[in-house]
Amino acid sequence: MAAIVSASTAASAATITGWNQNNVRQVAEAIPGTGVSVIYDRDVSGGTAGASTNGKILWRASPQPGMTVINNDVDLNPNQSIPDCIAAVGAQCEGPFQSDKRVKTVATNVGAIDMIFDTIADGETNSYRVYQRLINDSPFRIGSFTVELGYGVGSNFVASGGGDGLSFDAAAGYGPNNTPSYFQFPFGLFGDAATNPNQSLDGFFSLDRSVFNSTFSDDVISASGISNNYTSLFGPSMLNTASVPEGYFWDSDGDPGTDPLLMAWFNGTAWEARRQIDPLDPLKAIAIAPTIVDENDLISLGFERDLIEDLRNVNMDFNILVDSSYQAGQFTLRFNTVAGAVPEPSSWAMLIAGFGLVGGTLRRRRLNEVAA
């Protein structure tokens, strides 16, 4: 595997050939076949002494190492044209809804997470769709973050500049007004089913999508400020694992490959249901007006108590373009997170007791969330 370098002389244009893992160490977990790819701030092929890490990639949902580069993939959807992408291992660039395409990148601390990609010069211009999910398992809430292109890792990182042939692709549109990047919280919590052919149930908290507002430039995408339907409930920054509230979930289809449905949550003072089992269809949930309920009733229905982990997850869509002037042999994709403010207890009732002091048995949900 090539060493982590800033650039090398090559002919014009390039294809991304793979994820360079010289600054990565694989760590297996207790469950066979699961683990993480820990990302460091320097080359660790000779050991991790002196290295530090702010993040990792899960390979519970996809095989080790959790992320791959796909070139010239099969065309599965006549309404899309995504031949090239960076996605979870085993995924397809045009894979269907809930086919688990997203790379699960976990922030274990605030700061930079540097992923290096190898390239070859072949005279092509390629645009790679990047399917990512940022999971905040750091000690802090995240107030903002950037997605950056450059060269090198850690203190040796050098930002990409104009004219180097490496940029985010402004022509790739995703969200409202055909924006070239989109950072949004999962649909199950925030979204209008009438606007999405893959959804039959409105978001638990709001019909409106909840997003990190983003600004786009050739080499930096900045995300700062979350929409009001999130901040009005949870404060001005993205929750971390330690601060997400609990809920009761229903495994309506009995399929371990799909997420269970959130039916009720602890709102800081009481258990509040916003969904119920459809009286006309025992395998379907329907939305109801917020209703205070007895926890024992939720348990009697077979619902399971757990953390609402999707409140600390944000899905990211953007494209990386390598065009005819690109000549570097490697480049770096950097996620750089910044700690956010914690609301005062007087302005956010759910800070009381840290959520975890209400009764019941907590079953930790899997971290390999199915992604759209």
CA distance 321 to 172: 10
pLDDT of residue 14: 87
pTM equals 0.89
Q: Give me the pLDDT at residue 358, please.
A: 39
- Please identify which residue in the block is written with the tokens 């009733």: 297
Are 216 and 170 contacting, i.e. CB atoms less than 8 angstroms apart?
yes
- Domain residue extents for the chain: 15-354
Tokens linked to 171: 């022509």
For 363, counting Cβ atoms within 10 Å of its Cβ (0-12 exposed, 13-18 middle, 19+ buried), the class is exposed
Task: Please report the pLDDT score of residue 344 as a whole number.
Answer: 65
SS3 for the chain is CCCCCCCCCCCCCCEEEEEECCCEEEEECCCCCCEEEEEECCCCCCCCCCCCEEEEEECCCCCCCCCEEECCCCCCCCCCCCCCEEECCCCCCCCCCCCCCCEEEEECCCEEEEEEEEEECCCCCEEEEEEEEEEECCCCCEEEEEEEEEECCHHHCEECCCCCCEEECCCCCCCHHHCCCEEECCCCCECCHHHCCCCCCCCCCECCCCEEEEEECCCEEEEEEECHHHHHHHCCCECCHHHCCEEEEECCCCCCCCCCEEEEEECCCCEEEEEEEECCEEEEEEEEEEEEECHHHHHHCCCEEEECHHHHEEEEEEEEEECCCCCCCEEEEEEEEEECCCCCHHHCHHHHHHCCCCCCCCCCCCCCCCCC
pLDDT of residue 13: 66
Over its length of 372 residues, how does the chain's per-residue pLDDT go in tens digits? 344 443 333 334 689 999 999 999 999 987 888 899 999 999 999 999 999 999 999 998 788 999 999 999 998 887 788 999 999 999 999 998 778 899 999 999 999 999 999 999 887 789 999 999 999 999 999 999 999 999 999 999 999 998 899 999 998 877 666 788 889 999 999 999 999 888 889 999 999 999 999 999 999 999 999 999 999 999 999 999 999 999 999 998 887 767 899 999 999 999 999 999 999 999 999 999 999 999 999 999 999 999 999 999 999 999 999 987 888 899 999 999 999 988 765 544 444 334 443 334 344 333 333 333
What Å distances lie between residue 64 and 36, 99, 229, 372, CA to CA? 8, 17, 36, 20
Which pLDDT does position 76 carry in this prediction? 86
Query: How many alpha carbons lie under 13 Å from residue 304 in its C-beta half-sphere?
Result: 13
Q: How far apart are CA 279 and CA 292, in angstroms?
A: 19
